[in-house]
Structure 1
Amino acid sequence: MLPAKAPFLSFKTRWANPQLFQAALGMLALGLGLLFLWGRNPDFPSDLPSAQTLDIREESYQAQKDFTNRLSGFLREGHGGLLLVKETDRVASVEGMVGHGYVTYLQKYNKINEKQLFALTQEFAGKEGLGVKVHKLAPKYGATKLPSYEFDFLKEGELWVRVEAQLGAQAKVPGQPDTLAQPALPGSAPVVAPGSARLVVIIDDMGQNLSSFSQFSSLSKELTFSVLPQLPYSQRVAEAAHQLGAEVMLHLPMEPVAYPKNNPGAGALMVSDGLSFLAQKLKADLDSVPYAVGVNNHMGSAFTKNQPGMALVMQALAERGLFYLDSRTSASEVALGEAQRFGIPFFSRQVFLDEVPGEEAAKAALEKAITLALKEGTAVAIGHPRPETLAALKALLPQLKERGVTLVRASSLQKS
């Protein structure tokens, strides 16, 4: 004899039961609702305007962050004055589902006025193929009531990224002036007092041999030598520079985006490394380059975006009393944020002397650095032990004094 069917399996019994019928309808409605939400953006709260029109997929969110990094890099490297970049994720929960709406980035400036900020932002939006709307906000941020603005960057007419810009920020970044001086517009006369312009030239990738160091150190002991760790001549080059009276930095290798095609070399800090292993690597790197007064990154376009790793680096530098100079191999602002958090003196490279091969290109790059020094008061250039770089420095360094520029060591940036 076959057993009787359970009530749940009986079509007639299941739908004859009102409670079961209501539960089934409820489950069906919930399923349809989740399917609807899955295919669209959730309705965000009313205090997040236009958020419901935005793409919340992870790849789009990362693209938003990358765009804002490019914007900050454009304003900071080309025009100066960026003090802070802070990301505020707009996140909301809708019926148990959490998604990103848009991202707001706070950027603070002390060297760009309103007219310049508007023009530069419009220029950058045009290059990116985006629209931009500007909203002037009520003055805020304490008793100083600093002017603030919102820039809504639009993709196909819809809000994609929002940037809040604050002018006249009083926060101090080492190497940046306290005054709210406005930079000269292109083509205008220098704004720096005659004879007060300073140029820092750092020669990276030292430690592979002694001959390159000898060639460059013969030009001036005011050059700064950044030494790669754990190479056959790392310690000897650092000691020779110190004995000469020149300044030494650690050229700290970090993982690039193109790894393993581009290998940063021995002692490199990798994104996949655990924090304990990173700490061991970092200590070994620092110990292998004696007399270092600061650190700049070698490669690192991937690692410098790694907040926990950069926090560990800045904490170690704080303990040793070292500064950090960002080689700007990427537009990430993580290093700046972590340096501020740990109170590390922070500076940035403005010009690569040998990014383009050839002696004439190197001379043109050095001329650009000299012009920036005359315009901004200080400029930082990085070169490498290459023949064209050596030739350009030989040709132009003797001219600096008569042009009103002084070659200074990297550590002098702390006295700005």
Structure 2
Amino acid sequence: MDDNKTDTERTGATRSAFSSALGAALRSLPVGAWIALALLLGLLIGFFAARRFPAPGPTPPQAEQANATYEEYRAGELENRVKLVDSALLRSLRASKPEADRLQVQSVEGREHQGREYLFQTIRLPLAPADKPAFSRHLAKELAILVPGAQFTQPTSTQWDIAIDGLPTHRLLLPAEAAEMPARPERPEAGKGRLALVIDDMGEDVGLAQGLAALDAPVAFSIWPDSGSRESVLKIAKAHNREILIHLPMQPKGYPKVEPGRHALLVTMTAEQVQAAVRRAVERVPGAIGLNNHMGSQFTENPFGMHAALTAIKDKGLFFLDSRTTAESVGEREARRIGLRFYKRDVFLDNEQNVGAILHQLRKAEALARSRGQAIAIGHPHPETLQAIRQWLKEKDASVSVVPLTALPVR
């Protein structure tokens, strides 16, 4: 009888027998085996689905998309490493002498290396002789972690030196015999200096704006053109007679992964598009007298884009403050070419959002103002920054005055 069956019938019978056998086998499996099979099947489905439909990256909150609060610092590899040495000093002081709250910045000297300026600091340490060994050990460890390539030497018991790849960056002065430092060490002889403080990223936090406006110092507000509380912060600035700048987003290195915010200046724009974006920003921040860059490590290196932007800034009667987020910025060169009023940042205050670290940066800016006669420091609307400025204003050298930015001569 089987010989009379067609090939199709034989195949169907075979499949039916196989299905019956498979069903019986599956029904006889224990519960644990079923669970294992289900997990395996789920993993396989997930694997192939992920290959075909890759999951999108995380979406930042809407507020962050509107205005990225991340501020990059590409002012040059050397400047960044100098700041890390500062951090190592502060950490070592806190670890070895917790009751000490400050490194006294004796002086700050502008030096040049490969055509770029960096700041050489002379710092007096509030250490008794008994504290030196622990501080020295801790500092050596911190430098090894934070600044590979830093050399820490102790030429004498009262003078220690730090260099980065052989370039001197810090001189540390220590007491010879006194067991305790005076509560407020004497400051070196110096002429009068003027220091301007600018706070970037303004326009979002109204409370911090009120706190900054209430300071007994003419702190300038640099306001995002597209910030959510722009109008309220503008009212606060004008009511307290604060100088107003436009904090204009510009393309950073790493863009588009690093997002500067809406309506940023990009290197792919035409001159007309760049100038239209500048004019739009000016219209959105009425009363502004100047403009500085938010991010912009890529854009401020671009001569074509910067020439277009600075031309529009000049046409609107504003000045340009270069935040110097890259050592290769062409801002000063292009500003000189077109006769634009120009300033540039000397010190960033709050790369590290820690009151002690911010105080050190303020003292560094203060010492620079004493030695040069003027300095410009830029900070951000963080609670720690506000607290540090309040404390510093109470103790700063009387020979250094905090002045409006426009009180300083242009570079």
Instruction: Identify the structure with bigger relative contact order (alpha carbons < 8 Å, sequence gap 6+).
Output: 2
What's the CA shift for 1:243?
2.2
Three-state SS of the structure 1 residue aligned to 2:119 is helix
Matched with 2:203 is: 207
Given that 1:254 and 1:297 are in contact with CA atoms closer than 8 Å, whether structure 2 keeps it comes out as: yes
Matched with 1:55 is: none
1:363 is the counterpart of 2:359:
yes
1:380 to 376, 383, 387: 376
Judging changes above 3 Å, is the alpha-carbon distance between structure 1 residues 373 and 274 closer, same or farther for their aligned structure 2 residues? same
Given that 1:297 and 1:326 are in contact with CA atoms closer than 8 Å, whether structure 2 keeps it comes out as: yes
2:291 to 286, 295, 301: 295
Matches within 5 A, 1:11-410: 75-78=116-119, 192-193=190-191, 196-400=192-396, 402-410=397-405
Judging changes above 3 Å, is the alpha-carbon distance between structure 1 residues 320 and 414 closer, same or farther for their aligned structure 2 residues? farther
What's the CA shift for 1:320?
2.2
- Take 1:237 and 1:369, find their aligned partners in 2: how far apart are those partners? 26
- Take 1:410 and 1:322, find their aligned partners in 2: how far apart are those partners? 13
Gaps of 5+ in 2: 1-75, 81-111, 121-162, 174-186
Judging changes above 3 Å, is the alpha-carbon distance between structure 1 residues 192 and 259 closer, same or farther for their aligned structure 2 residues? same
Judging changes above 3 Å, is the alpha-carbon distance between structure 1 residues 310 and 186 closer, same or farther for their aligned structure 2 residues? farther
Judging changes above 3 Å, is the alpha-carbon distance between structure 1 residues 331 and 291 closer, same or farther for their aligned structure 2 residues? same
Given that 2:222 and 2:245 are in contact with CA atoms closer than 8 Å, whether structure 1 keeps it comes out as: yes
Matched with 2:20 is: none
Three-state SS of the structure 2 residue aligned to 1:292 is coil
Gaps of 5+ in 1: 1-65, 80-122, 128-184
Code of the residue aligned with 1:311 in structure 2: it is H
Three-state SS of the structure 2 residue aligned to 1:285 is helix
Code of the residue aligned with 1:393 in structure 2: it is I
Judging changes above 3 Å, is the alpha-carbon distance between structure 1 residues 399 and 409 closer, same or farther for their aligned structure 2 residues? same
Given that 1:216 and 1:390 are in contact with CA atoms closer than 8 Å, whether structure 2 keeps it comes out as: yes
Identity of aligned residues (%): 35
Deviant stretches of 4+, over 6 Å: 66-74
Three-state SS of the structure 1 residue aligned to 2:289 is strand
Given that 1:239 and 1:291 are in contact with CA atoms closer than 8 Å, whether structure 2 keeps it comes out as: no
What's the CA shift for 1:340?
0.2
- Take 2:334 and 2:114, find their aligned partners in 1: how far apart are those partners? 17
Radius of gyration: which is bigger?
2
Three-state SS of the structure 2 residue aligned to 1:344 is coil
- Take 1:301 and 1:263, find their aligned partners in 2: how far apart are those partners? 12
**1:346-380 Cα deviation digits (max 9, x unpaired):** 22111111112311111111111111111111111
Judging changes above 3 Å, is the alpha-carbon distance between structure 1 residues 406 and 334 closer, same or farther for their aligned structure 2 residues? same
Given that 1:225 and 1:241 are in contact with CA atoms closer than 8 Å, whether structure 2 keeps it comes out as: yes
Judging changes above 3 Å, is the alpha-carbon distance between structure 1 residues 308 and 360 closer, same or farther for their aligned structure 2 residues? same
What's the CA shift for 1:329?
0.4
Given that 2:297 and 2:329 are in contact with CA atoms closer than 8 Å, whether structure 1 keeps it comes out as: no
The aligned length equals 250
Code of the residue aligned with 2:215 in structure 1: it is L
Code of the residue aligned with 1:263 in structure 2: it is E
Provide TM-score, normalisation by structure 2: 0.55
Given that 2:353 and 2:385 are in contact with CA atoms closer than 8 Å, whether structure 1 keeps it comes out as: no
Higher share of residues assigned strand: 1
